[in-house]
Amino acid sequence: MKVLLHICCAPCAAYPVEYLKKKGVEVTGFWYNPNIHPYLEYRKRLHEVRRLSRIMDFPLVERDIYNLVPYLRAIINRPKNANRCDVCYHFRLTQAARYTAEANFDAFTTTLLYSKYQRHESIKRIGEELAEKFGTKFFYADFREGWSRGLKLSRKFKLYRQQYCGCIISELERFYKNADLVLEHFEWKPRRKKSVETKQ
């Protein structure tokens, strides 16, 4: 069985990749996450996903399109009663479902199902709805059961572990109340060009 695994970040991918491989599934990673802010954070996470694909030996499809403006527009203009995170899931998983159908994978799934902090039932529902829309299947597994194992793997591989989900709003929610504590020992040290002694 060939499964496309949408990957939100490397630490959340380690256990799902291990789980799927043990099940005999042929795993291909899929990167599409224009929600991640700022851009350097986006690049850090993509770098680590690339590194994990080499460590755990699975192919990676990169939809490296930083559609930040369309993403933010979808979040800001969402229906009044729509949950912000659900809109984000739908925005990203739409690309995964579309590619699954186009590339003839048997199914797709997502590492979002690993996190204890995500809206698990919403992810499952949205995945199944998109699978029906694109004429494919959503491979559901409760990857949260491997939470501890995933932490061990991320430490073993020395993966970069981010401190917030990804979007600018989640960053605000993470640091708004404790920014002063986080920056308590911050000291700006500007780079200076090394002085070059001129020969007399």
Residue 46 confidence (pLDDT): 97
pLDDT for 112: 98
Overall number of domains in the chain: 1
How distant is the alpha carbon of residue 12 from its chain centre? Answer: 8
| Six-digit token string for 69 | 């403006």
Tokens of 197: 């002694």
* pLDDT < 70: residue spans in the chain: 182, 193-200
CB 113 within 8 A of CB 144: yes
Specify if 137 maps to a domain. yes
Q: Do 27 and 63 meet the contact criterion of CB atoms below 8 Å apart?
A: no
- What tokens appear for 103 in the block? 């590339």
CB of 169 closer than 8 Å to CB of 72: no
Give the residue numbers spanning the domain of 110: 2-182
Q: Is residue 118 part of a domain?
A: yes
Environment class of residue 35 by beta-carbon count within 10 Å: exposed (0-12), middle (13-18) or buried (19+)? buried
Residue 199 belongs to some domain of the structure: no
Would residue 172 count as lying in a domain? yes
DSSP per residue over 65-115, as a string? Answer: ---HHHHHHHHHTS-TT--HHHHHHHHHHHHHHHHHHHTT-SEEEEGGGT-
**Amino acid 11: pLDDT:** 97
Helix axis angle for 147-156 and 10-22, nearest 10°, is: 110
- 199 contact partners, CB below 8 Å, separation of at least 6: none
The token pair at 28 is 């291909």
Q: Is residue 190 part of a domain?
A: no
The domain spanning residue 122 has which CATH number? Answer: 3.40.50.620
